[in-house]
Structure 1
Amino acid sequence: MEQFIRLRGIAAAIDAINVDTDQIIPKLHLRTIERTGLGKVLFDELRFEPDGSEKPEFVLNQKPWRDAQILVAGDNFGCGSSREHAPWALLDFGIRCIISTSFADIFYNNCFKNGILPITVAKEALDALMMDAKDPENPVLGIDLETQEIQRPNGATLRFTIDAFRRDCLLKGLDDIGLTMQKMDRIEAFEAAQRKEQPWLYR
């Protein structure tokens, strides 16, 4: 998993509440177990007409937000059914950070496991960041996970809080497999001892 330390990128405003996982990645596209290639169908029904042409009013079809790396979203982002394809699609599109007042629990957890930083802020802070993201002249935000700060285009900074363990995992680029691999010495020592004591398990 790619580390997340600092990010400076274009922020796009998804100014809607209760954006669910079916809007993020419709169930039609859940037939793959590959993590790549899903960015092209991110927000599929919101971004595209049935014939595949773009809906020009959708923010990610407009400049400069086509290259967004940050989403500023309304309350309860990622609600609905549990599907890890949602963070896969966001990451494949290029989204590394999502800022909202609240997230659905499963989606929130899945973001950390896939190298996406979900940041929870107060309503007043979200309103300010939403205005920043809607400014076509300079919708760039800076995210610093080490200092836990968001840098706004006007130079102001906003602090955010995050669970220390999750923060450490993102800073080090550790997903569940990476965390397990850190204990490989202990795993191998256990297997060696078990092989001696219960050799029939390894036949």
Structure 2
Amino acid sequence: MSVQNWTIHSGVAVSIPREDIDTDQILPKQFMKLIDKKGFGIHLFHDWRYLDLEGKIPNPEFILNQERFTNVSVLIAGKNFGCGSSREHAPWALSDFGFRAILAPSFADIFSINSAKNGIALVCLKEEEISFLHDWVSKNPGSQVKINLETLEVEAGEQTFFFQLDTASVNRIRNGWDDIDITLKNAKEILEFERIRKKEQSFLEVQW
């Protein structure tokens, strides 16, 4: 499996009630140098987390630098999360940091596609439900939120919210599949196609 798979996740939730958080805020472009998916978490929300360009001086005012949110894995955000450029490095950073689910009223389309194949569930809830969660997390710091991909439910304290998530995204997350994994599921058919193509269109073969 290429990414960590899960069906039911309970994790400490953090509230960042900002709208239109774009991919450059999630991961600034100067850190898009690695080709592996690992190692980006330290640069997540870099301009908000650090007081210096090098990322050595944490900003004590930023919520992810507060001790009670050390092991967060559920992010509650404002609408249109993940807008901006289509860089897949943004969900790489979120996943590498430890986030498994993001709850918001809406998400950018390309970001949604990239998130599912990196093990992150994007849970779209009504604005009033997100507002409740922002308030609940603020009043109960360190509390956990539970996301169930089988029943498509979110549990926070005594409250339960229902959401929709397309079957393809659910299957990706539950099985830990990325694009390569899904392609390899059809390896037998691909090999058979190549065998027939070589037989019927041998003139296409390159002669060295």
TM-score (norm 1): 0.93
Aligned residue number for residue 18 of structure 1: 20
Out of 64, 87, 93, the residue aligned to residue 89 of structure 1 is 93
TM-superposition CA deviations, 1:139-169 (whole Å, max 9, x none): 210110000000112x221111111222223
How far apart in 2 are the matches of 1:40 and 1:137? 22
Secondary structure in 1 matching 2:70: helix
Aligned residue number for residue 172 of structure 2: 169
How far apart in 2 are the matches of 1:176 and 1:32? 19
How far apart in 1 are the matches of 2:142 and 2:31? 33
How far apart in 2 are the matches of 1:157 and 1:21? 29
Aligned residue number for residue 116 of structure 2: 112
Please provide the CA RMSD for this pair: 1.6
8 Å contact from structure 1 (residues 87, 114) kept in 2? yes
Structure 1: which 5+ residue stretches go unaligned?
Answer: none
Written as runs of structure 1 = structure 2, the 5 A alignment for 1:36-185 is 36-50=38-52, 52-153=56-157, 155-185=158-188
TM-score (norm 2): 0.91
How far apart in 2 are the matches of 1:106 and 1:195? 36
8 Å contact from structure 2 (residues 13, 142) kept in 1? no
Q: How far is the alpha carbon of 1:196 from its aligned partner?
A: 2.7
Q: How far is the alpha carbon of 1:202 from its aligned partner?
A: 6.4
How far apart in 2 are the matches of 1:110 and 1:143? 19
One-letter code of the match for 1:61? N
Distance 1:137-1:99 versus aligned 2 partners, 3 A rule: closer
Structure 2: which 5+ residue stretches go unaligned?
Answer: none
How far apart in 1 are the matches of 2:17 and 2:67? 17
Q: How far is the alpha carbon of 1:136 from its aligned partner?
A: 4.5
TM-superposition CA deviations, 1:79-115 (whole Å, max 9, x none): 1122111000000000110000011111111111211
Number of aligned residue pairs? 202
One-letter code of the match for 2:120? I
One-letter code of the match for 2:34? T
8 Å contact from structure 1 (residues 11, 133) kept in 2? yes
Secondary structure in 2 matching 1:143: strand
One-letter code of the match for 2:104? S
Aligned residue number for residue 196 of structure 2: 193
* Consecutive aligned runs of 4 or more in structure 1 exceeding 6 Å deviation: none
Aligned residue number for residue 6 of structure 1: 8
Secondary structure in 2 matching 1:8: strand
One-letter code of the match for 1:11? A
Secondary structure in 1 matching 2:83: coil
Distance 1:108-1:144 versus aligned 2 partners, 3 A rule: same
How far apart in 1 are the matches of 2:190 and 2:79? 42
One-letter code of the match for 2:37? R
Q: How far is the alpha carbon of 1:44 from its aligned partner?
A: 0.4
